[in-house]
A = this chain, B = another copy of it.
Amino acid sequence: MSLIAETPEPPYYAVIFSSLKGDDSAGYAEMAQRMMELAARQPGFLGAESAREEIGITVSYWRDLESIRRWKAHAEHREAQRMGRDKWYSSYRTRIALVEKDYGK
């Protein structure tokens, strides 16, 4: 998770997950790591990038909307989402975006 994702030529999808954590972080780090490992094994997963300072930003990349839908509906991921909403995050936003173009060095 420390490197820039090596995604294929666009188009592909990005899920931009931005979050602010509350005071209760019990179990969070383990769950976050588990979810990254699990996500990486899902069909259509193309890579992910993550950093946290005051705000946490995780961007995961996916082949298509169907891959994103299936991952969102994954039973273990649903439980993590529920704990995020109810316990860990004071605020969060998930944005689903079609990557049309990319460039870099």
The verdict on A49 contacting chain B, using a C-beta distance below 8 Å, is yes
A104 to B91, CA, bound (A): 7
Q: Decide: B4 and A92 in contact? CB cutoff 8 A.
A: yes
Interface check A41, CB cutoff 8 A: no
Which residues of A, 53-105, contact B by the 8 Å Cβ criterion?
A: 53-57, 59, 85, 89, 91-105
Contact residues of A: prevailing secondary structure: strand
A97 touches B97 (CB 8 A): yes
Question: Would you call A53 and B55 a contact (CB within 8 A)?
Answer: no
B residues in contact with A97, CB < 8 Å: 14, 97-100
Q: Among A1, A57, A100, A101, which residue has the most Cβ atoms of chain B within 10 A?
A: A57
